[in-house]
Structure 1
Amino acid sequence: MKSPLWTSDAVIEATEGLSQHSWTATGFSIDSRTIEPGDLFLALKGPIHDGHDYVEEAIKRGAVAAIVHKDYPSEIPVVRVEDTYEALKALAIASRKRTKAKIIAVTGSFGKTSTKEALKLVLSHQGQVIASQRSYNNFWGVPLTLCQLPENYDYGVIEIGMNYPNEITPLSQMVKPDICLITTVERMHIENCGSYEGVADAKAEIFDGMDRGSPAVIKKDNPMFSRIEARARQKGLEVIAFGADPTADIRLLDTTVVDNKLLVKAMIGARELSYYVPAVGEHWAYNSLGLLAVVWQIGANVELAAESLSQFQLLEGRGAIKEINFGQGKITIVDESYNAGPGSMIAALKTLGRLQPGQGGRRIAVLGDMGELGSHSKELHIALSEPIADNKIDLIFATGEKMYDLFQVLDAKARGYHDNDLEVFSIKVAEQIQTGDVIMVKGSRGMRAYVGRMSKVIEKILERSKQFNTA
C-alpha cells in the first residue's frame, strides 16, 4: 500500500490555491496517460498540448484531484491556482523543505542519466530512494521529481541538465543539493555557451544552491577541473576529486576487460577496492568512481555499493550492448543512439575498439551529426578521425552535413556510405551488415522525444535480422 504523498491541505498551503474538496494523494503526475489510482494530476500548458484538456480523463483514470488554472464544474475535485507551472515549483520547494532525504544532484556533459540510474540502483540496496525519470532534468522535470519525493525517503537523486547558461542556477537553488556530482565537462553546447570555458561555468552553476561545506564531486582528469574547482571553493564547498590522477581523493588504479565487463581497481580514501561494472567503456570506470565518491561522502556503505554495481544494466541509447542472431551467426550492436558530443563520441569509439568482432566481422561505427558546436563544428567532427584510427574501426557510415566533413577525410577503405536522408541511410546501412560485425550507432538526438534520431538505424538492422532469421 502506498504512503500518502500530498494532502489537499498541504497543496493549498504550498500553492495558495483554492479547493472545495478534501483528499489525500499517493502519487503525482503531469501526464494523464500515466495516471495511477490515487495520483494528483497537475495540468501544465505546453507549446503543443495543454494539460487542462485532459483533466477529466485524469480523474476517470483514478486521479484524486487536479491542480489547474482554469475553472471546472464544482463536482470535479480541483485546486485552482493562478499558474500551474508556478504551483509546480511551489510544491517542489515545499517537498524539499519537508524531506529528510539526502539530496544528490548529478550533472555533466555526458553520463549523467546512466550515472543517476546507477546511483539509484546502489542506494536502493541501502534505503528508500527516488530518482529523476528518464532524462527529466530541465525546468519542469526537476520540480516534478521533487514533487514525487516521499517525505520519509532516505535518498533523492536529481539529474540537472542544461542547454544554455543560467539554466542550472535556479534548478540548483530549488533542489538545494546536499552533495553534487559533475561526471565530466566536454565540448557539448559550446555554440550556446560561447566557449569550452563557458560550458564549464554553466555546469558549475550546480553549486549555486548548495550550503557552505557541502561536498562537490568533480572529475580530476579533465581540462576544466581547475576552473570548476575554483568556482566550488569560492562557494565554500568541499571538493572531492576522482580520477586516475595520483592526487585524486578517489583514484583509479587499473581497469581490465573480463568477459565484456570492466574489472575496476580503485583507491577510495584509504581503502583499495576491486569491483565489476557491466560495461567495457573506460568512461564507465570514471562514472563508477564518481558515484562511489558520492556514496562515501553521504556515509553509505561503499563496499556494498561497489558490489551492487555488478547488477547495473546499461540503458538503451546510452551504451546498451545487444547480441543479435543474424543469419547463421550473430552481430553485436552498441546502442549509443540517444545523443552525442565530442567527448561522448570518443568514449563510444573507444568502447567499440575494445570489442572483438566475430569471425569475418568488422568494427563499424554508424555516426550522425553532433549538434550545438557552432564555429567549432567542422574541426571537432574532423578530429574524430584520430580516435577512429586509434581504435581500429574498419568502416564508417555517416549521415548529416556536419558528419560529411569527417567522412571526406577518412581513408577510402574506411568510407562505407554517406547520405543526409536518414531513412535511405538506415536502409543502406542495414543492407551492408554481415555476420560477425560489431556496430556502434551514435549521433545527436534531434527532435524525437525520448529516443535519438539514430535509433532509426538500429530499427532497420533489427528488421533485416528478423528477415534473415525467418527466411
Structure 2
Amino acid sequence: MKETWTLGKIAAEVEGRLSGSADPTSVVRDFHIRAWSCGPGSVFLPIFNAGPQMTQRALGRGAVGALVDTHLADSIPHIWVYDLQSAAMKLAQKRRASFDGQVVGITGSAGKSSTKAMLAQVLQSSGNIYASRNNQNLTPYVTATLCSLPPTTDVAIFELAMYSPDMVGKSSELAQPHIGIITSIGMNHAEYHDNPEEGIIKSKTEIFWGMKEKGTAILPSHDSAFEKLRYRALESGKVNRIIECGMTCGDDVRLVEAIEHSTYSEVTISAFGETARYCISVPGMHMIQNSLLVAATLKSLGKPLSCMAKMREYQPPTQQYSTVSSTF
C-alpha cells in the first residue's frame, strides 16, 4: 500500500463533490469522527455531529476538510456525498484491500484496550505499527482507523467492541484480521441478548468470520468459555491455527511464574518451549494474563520473545468513551 490520499482523490473515489474552497491537492493524513481529535491534515467525518459548527471546529484544529452528506456553505472546505456512512465504508474497504501488512483484531468483554496497548508497545522496535486510538473500538471508529492507515504500516492493531449483537462481526469484516484475539468473556452488554451468556459468546466470536483465510485465533484457556470459543473459531472455517494461553502444562503460551509487587509484576512464561522473563510496569493478574496473549501474538507474527522486555515501559491507555448508534 503506497498511495497517499488527497482531497481530490477522495472526492473521485466516493463520487463526491468538492466545495469551491476545498483544495484538491491537500494531502490527507488521517480521518476522525470527533472534531476535537482532528489535527493538521485530518478529514472530519461528522457521523455523530453534523453541521457547520462542528466542521468549523475541526477546521480550526487543522483539518483540511470534511466529508459530509449535509449541505454546507461553499466557503467551508468539504466533500459532499449522498450518504456519509456508505462513503466512509467505501474508503475503508479500499484502504484495506490495498494493505499488504499484518492485521490483528482484539475483542473480548474486558482487557481489549490494555492488550492492544501492550502489543503496540512491544512491537515498537519491530516495524511501523498503527493501532486504533484510545478505546475507539466501535464500527465507526474502526472505519476511520482503516481510512487512516499510513502507507508504511507493517502491523495494524484493531480493537473491536460490541455495542450491538452484530457489531464485532461488522467490524471484523471491515478490518479482516489475520490474527483474532479474544481476551475474556463476561457479562458486559448482557442487555443486548435474550440469552446473555450464549449471546455474548456468539457476538464476540464473530470476529473469526471476518478474518482472512487460514487465520490464527489466540484464546485464554483459563476462561470458562474457552471450549466454546475454540469450537466457534473452528466452526468459522477461517481459522487453521489456535494458540492457547493460560497456566496449564498443555498451553502453547504458559505462565510459569508471576511475582506481584505493589507497582509492577515479574513474569516468567514458556511460549512453544521458549522461556521469556519480563516485568510489567503495572500490577495485577489480569495484566499478566493479557501479556500471555501478547506473547502469543509475537510468536504468530514471527517476532522474537525478547520484545516482551518492552512491557517494562507499558503505560495503561487513556479511556475516552463515546456513544454511537448501533445502526452504523
Tell me the TM-score normalised to structure 2 length.
0.88
SS of residue matched to 2:18:
coil
Match of 2:15 in 1: 16
Does residue 39 of the first structure (1) align with residue 42 of the second (2)? yes
SS of residue matched to 2:82:
coil
Task: Tell me by how many angstroms 1:298 deviates.
Answer: 1.1
Match of 1:365 in 2: none
Q: Which amino acid aligns with 2:207?
A: I
How far apart, in 2, do the equivalents of 1:307 and 1:8 lie?
41
Q: Which amino acid aligns with 1:213?
A: K
Paired residues in the alignment total: 315
Stretch moving more, 247-256 or 59-68: 59-68
8 Å CA contact 1:39, 1:63 repeated in 2? yes
Closer, same or farther in 2 for the Cα pair 1:245/1:163, shift >3 Å? farther
Does residue 201 of the first structure (1) align with residue 188 of the second (2)? no
How far apart, in 2, do the equivalents of 1:287 and 1:57 lie?
38
8 Å CA contact 2:31, 2:42 repeated in 1? yes
SS of residue matched to 1:66:
strand
SS of residue matched to 1:254:
strand
Task: Tell me by how many angstroms 1:316 deviates.
Answer: 5.9
Task: Tell me by how many angstroms 1:449 deviates.
Answer: 5.1
How far apart, in 1, do the equivalents of 2:54 and 2:262 lie?
49
Task: Tell me by how many angstroms 1:60 deviates.
Answer: 4.2
Match of 1:127 in 2: 127
Match of 1:313 in 2: 315
Task: Tell me by how many angstroms 1:121 deviates.
Answer: 1.2
Q: Which amino acid aligns with 1:278?
A: S
8 Å CA contact 2:138, 2:163 repeated in 1? no
How far apart, in 2, do the equivalents of 1:151 and 1:128 lie?
10
How far apart, in 2, do the equivalents of 1:210 and 1:294 lie?
15
How far apart, in 2, do the equivalents of 1:105 and 1:53 lie?
35
Closer, same or farther in 2 for the Cα pair 1:164/1:56, shift >3 Å? closer
Does residue 215 of the first structure (1) align with residue 216 of the second (2)? yes
- Equivalent residue runs for 1:23-172 within 5 Å: 23=25, 24-44=27-47, 46=48, 49-172=49-172
8 Å CA contact 1:99, 1:150 repeated in 2? no
8 Å CA contact 1:217, 1:290 repeated in 2? yes
Q: Which amino acid aligns with 1:103?
A: V
8 Å CA contact 2:51, 2:70 repeated in 1? no
Unaligned runs of 5+ in 2: 324-328
Does residue 233 of the first structure (1) align with residue 230 of the second (2)? no
8 Å CA contact 1:216, 1:232 repeated in 2? yes
8 Å CA contact 1:14, 1:94 repeated in 2? no
SS of residue matched to 1:6:
coil
Q: Which amino acid aligns with 1:101?
A: G
Task: Tell me by how many angstroms 1:269 deviates.
Answer: 0.8
Q: Which amino acid aligns with 1:220?
A: S
Closer, same or farther in 2 for the Cα pair 1:51/1:151, shift >3 Å? farther
8 Å CA contact 1:181, 1:290 repeated in 2? yes
8 Å CA contact 2:254, 2:271 repeated in 1? yes
Match of 1:252 in 2: 255
Task: Tell me by how many angstroms 1:180 deviates.
Answer: 1.2
How far apart, in 2, do the equivalents of 1:169 and 1:92 lie?
16
8 Å CA contact 1:40, 1:66 repeated in 2? yes
SS of residue matched to 1:289:
helix
Closer, same or farther in 2 for the Cα pair 1:272/1:60, shift >3 Å? closer
How high is the sequence identity, in percent, across the aligned residues? Answer: 27
Does residue 288 of the first structure (1) align with residue 291 of the second (2)? yes
SS of residue matched to 1:197:
helix
Determine which structure has greater relative contact order: mean sequence separation of CA pairs < 8 Å that are 6+ residues apart, divided by chain length: 2
The structure that has the greater radius of gyration is: 1
SS of residue matched to 2:207:
helix
Unaligned runs of 5+ in 1: 318-337, 339-447, 451-471
Task: Tell me by how many angstroms 1:157 deviates.
Answer: 0.8
Deviations 1:291-323 (A, max 9, x none): 11111101122212x100111123467xxxxxx
Task: Tell me by how many angstroms 1:135 deviates.
Answer: 1.2
8 Å CA contact 1:100, 1:151 repeated in 2? no
8 Å CA contact 1:256, 1:264 repeated in 2? yes
Task: Tell me by how many angstroms 1:173 deviates.
Answer: 0.4
Q: CA RMSD in A?
A: 2.3
- Equivalent residue runs for 1:422-461 within 5 Å: none
Closer, same or farther in 2 for the Cα pair 1:134/1:288, shift >3 Å? same
Q: Which amino acid aligns with 1:199?
A: I
Tell me the TM-score normalised to structure 1 length.
0.63
Match of 1:266 in 2: 269
Task: Tell me by how many angstroms 1:233 deviates.
Answer: 0.9
Stretch moving more, 65-74 or 281-290: 65-74
Task: Tell me by how many angstroms 1:158 deviates.
Answer: 0.5
How far apart, in 1, do the equivalents of 2:16 and 2:135 lie?
30
SS of residue matched to 2:202:
helix
Closer, same or farther in 2 for the Cα pair 1:17/1:195, shift >3 Å? same
